[in-house]
Amino acid sequence: MTAPRPAFETATMVRAGEELAIDVLEHHLAVIEEGEESVHAFNLVLADSARERARAVDARVAAGEDPGPLAGVPVALKDNLCTRGVPTTCSSRILDGWCPPYDATVVTRLADAGAVVIGKTNMDEFAMGSSTETSAFGTTRNPHDTTRVPGGSSGGSAAAVAAGFAPLALGSDTGGSIRQPAALCGVVGMKPTYGTVSRYGLVAFASSLDQIGPFAGTVADAALLFDAIGGHDPLDSTSLHRPTPRVLSVLDDGVDGMTVGVLAEFLDGADPDVVARVHQAAEALGAAGARIEEVSVPEVALGLSAYYLIAPGEASSNLARYDGVRYGLRVDAADTVAMNTATRTAGFGAEVKRRIMLGTYVLSAGYMDAYYNQALKVRTRIIEGFATAYARCDVLLGPTAPTTAFAIGAKVDDPLTMYLSDVCTIPSNLAGHPAISVPFGPGDDGLPVGVQLLGPALSEGTLFQVAAVVESAAPDLPAPRLTTGAPS
Amino acid sequence: MTSGWQMVIGLEVHCELKTATKLFCGCPNMFGDEPNTNVCPNCLGLPGSLPVLNQQAVELAMAIGTALHCEIRPSTFHRKNYFYPDQAKDYQISQYDEPLNVDGWLDLPDGFRVGIERAHMEEDTGKTSHAGASGRIHGADYSLVDYNRSGVPLVEIVSAPDMRTAEQARAYVTELRAILVASGASDGKMEEGSMRVDANVSVRRSAEAPFGTRCEIKNLNSVRSLGRAIEYEAQRQIALIESGEAVVQQTRHWDEGAGRTEALRSKEDAYDYRYFLEPDLVPLVPDAEWIRAVGDTLGMMPAERRARLIGLLEQAGGATDAQRDQVATVVDLGLDDLVVEAVAGGIGSGLALARTANEAATDADAARALDPKSYLELLMLESSGSLSATQAKAVLAELFARGGGDPAAIARDKGYEAMSEDSLAATVAQAVADHPDEWGRYRDGDDKLAGFFTGLVMKATRGQANGRAVAAELARLRG
């Protein structure tokens, strides 16, 4: 397959009337038709509504109007983003049959920017997982090797972009759910500063950690999508009132004079080939004029433990509403209380149940101080640790995930090993900071490696600026082949 | 109260705020609409919905805090987690360990001061009804739920355990209700559930003894129920202790029909609510300027307004007990401005108060809407003798019916020309001539017969005669 055309070019051509949005869409629908069976990136492909939308974009261009910066660009949405009248499942049986009566703010903003929503992508159930294997609707497969996982939880969105099903996708990142699958699928994925992108219409997993962000084939495309979805939203009380950094304009500014810290703790547990790629990226940044330092933030080592107390705690509350009373699955039983139990027993998968149990426990009277409140203190210490590092460095550099894509089934029965996939991504969520994963060549197994850039709150401009330099120095990655087995 | 025992009472009052919209969404805050019509993704707890705090609700909550002399502080919201179908999210957003209002007080009309521990904000639940013999969720054939009330703003006002009698508890709720209404925060309608009271009751052998084990009584739908329930519960606890048993800390349900409390659940089966900070909201930190602005919009509270009327009576020589009751009525109905303006216009405070408490109070809504100037003019016509008391009442009724107007013009329309002295004298003379026996007894000093003659004159003039003028004429004839 040919390398997908960047969204930026597509939008420019559609806005100029040089290409029809409907043709762009049909091309992508054809790619989906060809590859979806082996990848299973989507829970739902919205061919009809996408065609309607694409024709509307073309009509606006024909009428001399500008449909916006994403004119005619197909975008795939993680299936935890509410779409009016379209099933939104979170890849869970518990939401069986539910169609939201409203659009998420990001969905509205995509429409306002002229984008064409092409489908809803598969994910770990309620975003709880690192491989997309906890989906109730089957596993998404990595387009670079369909025996491997795409990562997760936004595995469907990452795979859709990697497979050329859509040039852009949105995911959500609670502990790495955008960056880790982006790394494993060889695409760009970015988690914005908490509060930068509205969470209104994002089905909550852990509200204080969740943040929506872009997937794209290139850093520039990720910047284009981030600019379109960010900004204050009165419907989200945690949405920042400060201006969102506009990132598109700084992409060519380079790294001359910047200080990049290579984060030692992130290298500790990573595979040697992944570590080698991180060093290679650091050298490239050094060659481009940045000062490279090794930095230690010991507190980040506590992140994983703290995360698995805070996130399940919030999740146990957020997922209480799936009780069979108002919407989604209902399993009838003798009375309401029995119905609640029967519905939740049938509707949730094992990983979701595990986290609800864990979260209920850590919030319980008598255990709250020992677990949840302790984790909140760790969270504060991580923020302080990062602050010390950012006093010296503009950005931090490390791997996104400790390994390349692992085999389907390899970790799904071993939760603790699976949780370690997110050890390098979780600290940014706990701190509320932005971070971006950029593909940086293949690992020893020929599968994509992602390097991660981390910055302080609202440093998106700097992150994209550095990411563009990393991208330009990245070794070539074999194109996805949508087949079994890694490229030789 | 059984001698040798003292009750200890603390009250928790939930008050629905009179906002245009709900606490965290834009749905109308309306009582009595078709079920599930005032709902949206937020108050139905749909996935992906988020709460946005209602500014008007915060201001009304701050008004309550100000009226109860509380400190208004930076506050936060927590989630109170428990499964129940009337809760759209299966958790309630409520202020927990950092409430908006703390450490205030409320003075009862007799001067007894009750401490206010806190007055915090939270959202109301929907309403469930359970079909089937049990009437409860367990064993119901089916349950119905109406989410119109889901997300309606509430303030929960928690008193200190300062009250010692059921009468004080009743007075507290009555006074608190008046404050809530006067501050514009609530309509205070217990019968519609916009004000709900839970009572914590314990007993002890003396005022010096430590507090006993308390029980919380729910389902108190009127001030009367509150008093009955407290009396019953205190007696129940005393009987337990006197028979050598211990009071078990429980939540108890007041059965109005049976006149007793029944155990709902004990402390051991209390829910673990797993409170934690609501991550979808940010802290509520009112600045000094905002607090001051809300305070400035707050009118006079009932205690102050009662004192104002008593002050007017005292200037005129003092207030009787009956007049103190009238003052309470007038303030309770929000008609005290009518009295104050009438007195300022030269009307005697006794007349102004009596007319307001007895007549204006019969249609308080209309009276509150009346231009105080019209009311003053009416009382001046009565006070000067141009209208009799009966006529003045009729004109007032007409003013209410018309929603205002010129009392003098209404009096003319009704043909209430003040009787000339000559025609009054002639009517009195006729009555005397017609009843020589009675007149003789009156002349010999039987003053009670003055009423008899006044009645005759009133009947003859169809109420147009001024009673005081008749009395004066009778006295003059008697010589």
At residue A3, the pLDDT reads: 60
Could you say which of A238, A313, A337 has the minimum Cβ distance to residue B138? A337
What is d(CA A54, CA A394) in angstroms, rounded to the nearest whole number? Answer: 41
Question: Among B82, B122, B69, B127, which Cα is nearest to B98's?
Answer: B122
Q: What is the pTM of this model?
A: 0.88
Is A1 a residue whose pLDDT tops 60?
no
Does residue A153 have an active-site annotation?
A: yes
- Has A177 been annotated as catalytic? yes
Number of domains in chain A: 2
Pick A340's closest partner by Cβ from B45, B83, B140. Answer: B83
Q: B333 — alpha (psi -120 to 50), left (phi > 0) or beta? A: alpha
**What is the chain B residue with the closest CA to A203?**
B48
Predicted confidence at residue A247, as pLDDT, reads 85
pLDDT (mean) for B69-74: 98
Residue type, A335: D
Could you give the CA distance from residue A325 to residue B479 in angstroms, rounded to a whole number?
Answer: 87
Give the pLDDT score at A488. Answer: 44
**Tokens 């109070």 belong to residue:** B361
A470-484 pLDDT, tens per residue? 999 999 999 998 876
Residues A144-163, mean pLDDT to the nearest whole number: 97
For the ranges A72-81, A341-350, B90-99, B456-465, which has the lowest average pLDDT? Answer: B456-465
Q: Give the mean model confidence (pLDDT) for residues B344-359.
A: 91
Do A310 and A262 have their domain in common?
no
Other CB atoms within 10 A of residue B134 CB: 12
Say if the Cβ atoms of A204 and B47 lie within 8 Å.
yes
pLDDT in tens, B384-423: 778 888 888 899 999 988 888 889 889 888 878 666 677 7
Q: Distances in Å between the alpha carbon of B201 and those of A307, A362, B174, B233, B245?
A: 44, 34, 18, 7, 17
Give the residue-averaged pLDDT of A334-352: 95
What pLDDT digit, counting tens, does each position of B442-469 carry?
988 888 888 898 888 888 887 777 777 8
H helix and E strand count, chain A? 16, 11
Q: Is the pLDDT of residue A468 over 70?
A: yes
- Look at residue A112 and tell me if it is in a domain: yes
What does DSSP assign to residue B9? Answer: E
Q: How far is CA B225 from CA A30, B180, B360, in A?
A: 73, 20, 29
Distance between CA A350 and CA A355 in Å, rounded?
Answer: 9
Q: Among A349-363, A418-432, B260-274, B435-449, which is the least confidently predicted range? A: B260-274
Query: A401 and A440: one domain?
Result: yes
Q: Are A287 and A314 in the same domain? A: no
Please choose, from the candidates A5, A80, A6, A87, the residue with its C-alpha nearest in 3D space to the C-alpha of residue A46: A87
pLDDT cut 70: percent of chain B above it:
98
Does A381 fall in a domain?
A: no
- Across the range A85-105, mean pLDDT stands at 97
Is A288 within 8 Å of A254 (Cβ atoms)?
yes
The CA distances from residue B417 to A222, A368, B233, B464, in Å, are 89, 81, 62, 8
Which residues in A have their CB inside 8 Å of a CB on B?
80-82, 88, 90, 95, 98, 100-102, 104, 199-204, 206-208, 234-238, 313-314, 316-317, 320-321, 323, 325-327, 335-337, 340, 360, 363-365, 368, 372
Q: How far is B382 from chain A (nearest CA, A)?
A: 59
Of the candidates A344, A304, A374, A11, the one whose C-alpha atom is nearest the C-alpha of residue A130 is A304
DSSP A253-320: S--TT-EEEEEHHHHHTS-HHHHHHHHHHHHHHHHTT-EEEEE--GGGGGHHHHHHHHHHHHHHHHGG
Alpha-carbon separation of residue B80 from A340, B28, B89, B190 (angstroms): 18, 24, 10, 25
CB A326 to CB B44 under 8 A?
yes
For B285, other C-beta atoms within 10 Å of its C-beta total 10
**The domain containing residue A318 runs over which residues?**
301-375
**Domain identity same for A338 and A398:** no
Mutate to test the interface with B, among A323, A339, A356 (most CBs of B within 10 A): A323
Residues A283 and A392 in one domain: yes
Q: What is the pLDDT of residue B1?
A: 63
Average pLDDT over residues A56-66: 98
At B115 the pLDDT is 98
Residue B332 confidence (pLDDT): 85
- Do A121 and A250 belong to one domain? yes
| pLDDT average, residue stretch A155-183 | 98
CA B162 – CA A233 distance, rounded (Å): 46
Q: Which of left, alpha, beta for A77 (phi over 0: left; psi -120 to 50: alpha)?
A: beta
Contact A325 B274 (CB under 8 A): no
Strand, helix or coil at B112? coil
Catalytic status, residue A296: no
Res B267: pLDDT: 65
Whether residues A250 and A169 fall in one domain = yes
Is the model's pLDDT at B475 over the cut of 90? Answer: no
User: What is the distance in angstroms between the Cα of B136 and the nearest Cα belonging to chain A?
Assistant: 10
**Residue B66: its pLDDT value, please?**
97
Task: Check whether residue A19 and residue A79 sit in a common domain.
Answer: yes
Q: What percent of chain A has pLDDT over 70?
A: 98
Q: What share of chain B is helix, strand, coil (3-state, %, to 5)?
A: 40, 20, 40
Measured between alpha carbons, how far is A68 from A115 in angstroms, rounded to an integer? 8
A141 to A39, A148, A190, B156, B219: CA distances (angstroms): 5, 6, 21, 53, 58
Report how many Cβ contacts below 8 Å link chain A to chain B: 106
- Tokens 């009367």 map to which residue? B224
> Pick from A375, A400, A423: which residue ends a domain?
A375
Measure the CA–CA gap between B413 and B407, rounded to whole angstroms.
10
| Residues B93, B24 contacting (CB under 8 angstroms) | yes
Query: Does A484 map to a domain?
Result: no
Answer whether B166's CB lies under 8 Å from B223's CB.
no
Q: What is the CATH number of domain B421-478?
A: 1.10.10.410
Q: What is the mean pLDDT of residues B221-244?
A: 96
Instruction: Tell me: do A465 and A345 sit in the same domain.
Output: no
On whether residue A206 sits in a domain, the answer given is yes
- Give me the residue label for tokens 């609640």: A340
Q: Using a pLDDT cut of 90, give the percent of chain B over it.
A: 63
Collect contacts of B245-252 with beta carbons under 8 A, ≥24 apart: B246/B213, B247/B202, B247/B203, B247/B212, B247/B213, B247/B214, B247/B215, B248/B213, B248/B215, B249/B213, B249/B214, B249/B215, B250/B215, B250/B216, B251/B215, B251/B216, B251/B218, B252/B215, B252/B216, B252/B217, B252/B218
Pick among B43, B54, B83 to test the A interface (most A CBs inside 10 A): B83
Chain B: closest CA distance from residue A103 (Å): 9
The predicted model gives A148-166 an average pLDDT of 98
Residue B199 and residue B11 in contact, taking contact as beta carbons nearer than 8 Å: yes
- What is the b/e burial string over B427-450, where b = at least 16 CB atoms within 10 angstroms of the residue's CB? bbeebbeebeebbeebeeeeeebe
Q: Are residues A108 and A171 in the same domain?
A: yes
Question: Do A221 and A350 share a domain, yes or no?
Answer: no
Q: Do B274 and A203 touch (CB under 8 A)?
A: no
Average pLDDT in the A167-186 region?
Answer: 98
Angle, CA of B217, B219 and B223, to the nearest 5°: 90
Domain boundary among A375, A397, A420: A375
User: Is A178 within the bounds of a domain?
Assistant: yes
Q: Is the dihedral of CA A231, A237, A238, A243 positive or negative?
A: positive
Collapsed DSSP state (helix, strand, coil) of residue B349: helix
Distance from the Cα of A278 to chain B's closest Cα (Å) equals: 35
CB-CB neighbours of A391 under 10 Å: 8
User: What's the mean per-residue pLDDT of chain B?
Assistant: 91
The closest of A381, A235, A231, A357 to A302, measured between CA atoms, is: A381
Mean pLDDT of A133-139: 98
Mean pLDDT within B7-20 = 97
Whether A207 and A167 share a structural domain: yes
Would you say B355 and B379 are in contact if contact means Cβ atoms under 8 Å apart? yes
CB contact set of A262 (below 8 Å; sequence gap of 6+): A278, A279, A282, A292, A293, A294, A295, A396, A397, A398
Peptide bond between residue B94 and the one before it cis (omega within 30 degrees of 0): no
CATH assignment at residue A457 = 3.90.1300.10
Is B384 within 8 Å of B360 (Cβ atoms)?
no
- pLDDT attached to residue B414: 84
Residue A214 placed within a domain: yes
The DSSP bridge partners found for residue B154 are B16, B122
For an interface test with B, which of A83, A123, A197, A237 has the most B Cβ atoms less than 10 Å from its Cβ?
A237
Instruction: Return the pLDDT at A437.
Output: 98
Q: Which residue of A has its CA nearest to B52?
A: A237
At B211 the pLDDT is: 95
Nearest-CA neighbor of A426 among A211, A226, A275?
Answer: A211
Lowest mean pLDDT among A56-60, A302-306, B186-190: B186-190
CB A462 within 8 A of CB A254: no
Residues B76-104 have a mean pLDDT of 96
At B122, give phi and psi (nearest 5°). Answer: -160, 170
pLDDT of residue B403: 84
pLDDT for B264:
86
| Arithmetic mean of pLDDT over chain A | 96
The 3-state DSSP composition of chain A as helix, strand, coil percent (nearest 5) reads 40, 15, 45
Q: Choose the catalytic residue: A130, A135, A157, A177.
A: A177
The number of residues making up chain B comes to 479
Domain C-terminal end among A345, A375, A405: A375
Q: Are strands B250-255 and B215-220 parallel, antiparallel or unpaired?
A: parallel
Gap between the Cα atoms of A343 and A325, Å rounded: 9
- Reported as a pLDDT band with limits 50, 70 and 90, residue A485 is low
In a domain, A481, yes or no: no
Count other C-beta atoms under 10 Å from residue A455's C-beta.
25
- Please tell me the distance from the alpha carbon of residue A271 to that of residue A184, in angstroms, as a whole number: 14
What is the model's pLDDT at position A483? 72
The count of C-alpha atoms lying within 13 angstroms of the C-alpha of B85, restricted to the half-sphere facing its C-beta, is 23
